[in-house]
Amino acid sequence: MMRTADIDTPALLVDLEVMERNLRRVADYTRKHGLRLRPHTKTHKSPRIGRRQLDLGAAGLTVAKVGEAEVMLAAMPEAGPADLLVAYPVIGHAKLERLMAVARRAHVTVSLDSLAAARQLSEAAQAAGVKVGALAETDVGMGRVGVSPGAELLGLARGIERLAGLSFEGIAFYPGHIKANGEAGREALTALGGVIQRILADFRREGIEARIVSGGSTPSLYHSHELEGLNEIRPGTYVYNDWNTVASGACTEDECAAALLVTVISTARPGQIIVDGGSKTFSSDRFAGSAESTFGHVVEAPGAVFHKMNEEHGYVDVTKCDRKFEIGERLTIIPNHICVAVNLHERVYGIRGGELEEVWEVAGRGKLQ
C-alpha cells in the first residue's frame, strides 16, 4: 500500500470521510424535503462517486457534455432505471449520434434553449428510434443560456411538445448568479421564488405540464426547499466544496473534502515561497469572495497568501507567517474552484485518517465534446 508520504506532488487529495459526510448531508436534505437530486458530476467526473450519489438516493446524474454522459454510464446500476441529464444543448451531428448511443442504454434528458437545438435532437431521436426527454431552459438572472420566462419560454415548451422523438419533461434553470448567503442571497432567492411562481402560473394557464422544475446550485443549496414549485436540484460542487463555497457561506473549511498537495521548490526570495502547483494544477480561476486575486487557502499556514501563479509556479507570500518554510516541505491548499482543478488531474488520491486508502481515475477529465 502506498503511503500518503509517497504521493508525489502536485496531487489532488480527497478526504473520504469529509466527502461521505457531504454526500450524505445533501442526500438527507433532499429526501427530507421531497426534492429530486440529480447531482452535476462535472465536479468529480468519476463514476465511482456518481455511483455513490445514486446509492444514496439520487434520481439520476447530470453532465455537461456527451463525453461525460458516456463516462457516467459506468456509474449506473446494473438493475433499475439509468437516468442521465445533459444540462447543455447538444448541437451537431457528431455529438447527437454519440448521445443516441447513450440513450439506448439510459433515459437521457437534454436541457436546451432553442427550437433549433430541439429540432436537431428530435431528428436524431427519431433516426435512432429512441425517446429523449427535453427540458426547456430558462434564464432566471444568470444571463447565460435560457430563454426569458414568459412568452419565449412557453413558445419553446410548446415547440418541444410538438416534436416527435422528444418528451417535454419540464423546465430547467441555473441560479448561478446567487453566490452568497446573508441579505443579498435572501433577496435574490425571494426574487427567484417570484420568477418560478410566475412561470408555473403561465404553464398552468396554458395547460402545459412541467413535471420537472429543475434548478439548484451549491451556494444556494440548503434554501432549495424554500422555493415553492422547485422539485429537482443539480448541485455539483457540494461533493468536495472549495474556497469559493466557503466564501459563499454554504460550507465551512471542515467541509472542504479536496485539496492540492504541493511541494515548496524555492525559497530564494525573502518573504516568498514558490510551490510546484500553478495554473496547470489549480486553474487560474480567481477567488470570488473579494477583489483580491488569490488562488487558494494554505491549510498549514492560514496567514500565507497565494497571490499569483504561472503554469507551474504558485507564488505564496509568507511575510505574515511566523515560521520558516523549507525546500521539499509539503503543503495542502484548498483551491478556489474545485471543478476546474479536478479537470486538470488524471487521478484522485483518497485519504482516510491521514493515510492513503484508494486511488481513482478522473475518468471524465478533459471530455470537451
For residue 10, state whether it binds a copy of itself (rule: CB under 8 A). yes
Contact positions with a copy of itself (CB under 8 A) in 45-74? 64-65
The 166-172 sheet, strands edge to edge: 36-37, 232-233, 212-215, 166-172, 132-137, 107-112, 83-86, 61-63
Do the Cβ atoms of 14 and 258 come closer than 8 Å? yes
For residue 216, state whether it binds a copy of itself (rule: CB under 8 A). no
For residue 235, state whether it binds a copy of itself (rule: CB under 8 A). no
For residue 242, state whether it binds a copy of itself (rule: CB under 8 A). no
Residues in the interface with a copy of itself (CB under 8 A) total: 64
For residue 252, state whether it binds a copy of itself (rule: CB under 8 A). no
The whole-angstrom separation of Cα 132 and Cα 167 is: 6
For residue 143, state whether it binds a copy of itself (rule: CB under 8 A). yes
For residue 340, state whether it binds a copy of itself (rule: CB under 8 A). yes
When binding is defined by CB under 8 A, the residue of 39, 47, 146, 165 that contacts a copy of itself is 146
In the block, cell 433499475 appears at 80
Cell for 352? 482516510
In terms of CB distance, is 271 or 303 closer to a copy of itself? Answer: 271
Residues 88-107, mask of contacts with a copy of itself (x by CB under 8 A): xx-xx-xx------------
CB of 362 to a copy of itself, least distance (A): 10
- Chain centroid to CA 316: 28
The whole-angstrom separation of Cα 17 and Cα 353 is: 8
When binding is defined by CB under 8 A, the residue of 18, 19, 36, 42 that contacts a copy of itself is 42
CB of 139 to a copy of itself, least distance (A): 7
Contact positions with a copy of itself (CB under 8 A) in 267-306? 267-269, 272, 274, 276-277, 279-281, 283-286
When binding is defined by CB under 8 A, the residue of 311, 319, 355, 358 that contacts a copy of itself is 311
For residue 232, state whether it binds a copy of itself (rule: CB under 8 A). no
CB of 28 to a copy of itself, least distance (A): 28
CB of 268 to a copy of itself, least distance (A): 5
For residue 324, state whether it binds a copy of itself (rule: CB under 8 A). no
For residue 38, state whether it binds a copy of itself (rule: CB under 8 A). no
When binding is defined by CB under 8 A, the residue of 247, 339, 348, 351 that contacts a copy of itself is 339
Do the Cβ atoms of 64 and 85 come closer than 8 Å? no
Contact positions with a copy of itself (CB under 8 A) in 147-166? 147-148, 152
When binding is defined by CB under 8 A, the residue of 1, 164, 291, 368 that contacts a copy of itself is 368
CA dihedral of residues 158, 159, 160, 161 (deg, nearest 10):
50
When binding is defined by CB under 8 A, the residue of 197, 310, 319, 359 that contacts a copy of itself is 310
In terms of CB distance, is 190 or 369 closer to a copy of itself? Answer: 369
For residue 139, state whether it binds a copy of itself (rule: CB under 8 A). yes
Q: 326: buried, middle or exposed (CB in 10 Å: 19+, 13-18, 0-12)?
A: exposed
Residues at the site binding a copy of itself, with contacts judged by CB under 8 A: 6, 8-11, 42, 64-65, 88-89, 91-92, 94-95, 113-114, 116-117, 120, 137, 139, 143-148, 152, 176, 263-269, 272, 274, 276-277, 279-281, 283-286, 310-313, 315, 326-328, 339-340, 343-346, 366, 368-369
